[in-house]
Structures are given as structure tokens and as C-alpha cells.
């Protein structure tokens, strides 16, 4: 590295914990296995699936996944809210 240049080390991505929740405000199309289903409104635990975002309904324990892009789109559109 040339003298005088500064390189900031990359920060690791934050790890998801069971304490993180998503509140789904509108029913959303999601994947449950090979099927596309409508995920109902409610409180969901966020699960780290690596390549996607897993959501588990707190009351029913039903699980489904959203692609990371779809999760971010719904988050930015206000259909999903995230809380700790």
C-alpha cells in the first residue's frame, strides 16, 4: 500500500438474532417450499437463511422465505417494518 493512503477495513455484516422481528402490514406473496403463498399480516421472527430472508410467524410457527431483494422492496414500500 502506498505511503499515506488509508484503507478502512470492511465491517462484517450484522448477524440476525431471534430478537429481531418483522411486522408484516399487508399480505405478501412468499415462497413456502416450492409453492407461492400469501403470507398473512402479523409478527414474524427473522431468520438468517444466507441467500434469502426467512420469516417465522410467531403465533402459528408457519415459515416462508423472501428473496433479499423482495424483502428490501417491501421494507422500502412500507409493507414490512423491522423491530428488535
Distance CA 5, CA 78 (A): 41
Distance CA 64, CA 79 (A): 16
Is pLDDT of 64 > 90? Answer: no
- % of the chain surpassing 90 pLDDT: 18
Model pLDDT, residue 74: 92
Q: Are 46 and 60 in contact (CB under 8 A)?
A: no
pLDDT tens digits along 8-43? 555 554 455 445 889 999 888 877 778 888 888 889
Is pLDDT of 1 > 60? Answer: no
Q: Are 1 and 58 in contact (CB under 8 A)?
A: no
Model pLDDT, residue 30: 78
Amino acid at each position: 500500500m502506498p505511503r499515506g493512503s488509508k484503507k478502512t477495513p470492511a465491517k462484517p455484516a450484522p448477524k440476525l438474532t431471534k430478537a429481531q422481528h418483522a411486522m408484516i402490514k399487508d399480505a405478501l406473496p412468499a415462497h413456502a417450499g416450492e409453492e407461492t403463498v400469501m403470507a398473512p399480516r402479523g409478527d414474524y421472527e427473522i431468520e438468517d437463511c444466507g441467500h434469502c430472508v426467512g420469516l417465522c410467524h410467531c403465533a402459528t410457527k408457519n415459515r416462508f422465505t423472501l428473496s433479499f431483494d423482495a424483502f428490501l422492496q417491501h421494507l422500502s414500500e412500507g409493507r414490512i417494518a423491522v423491530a428488535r
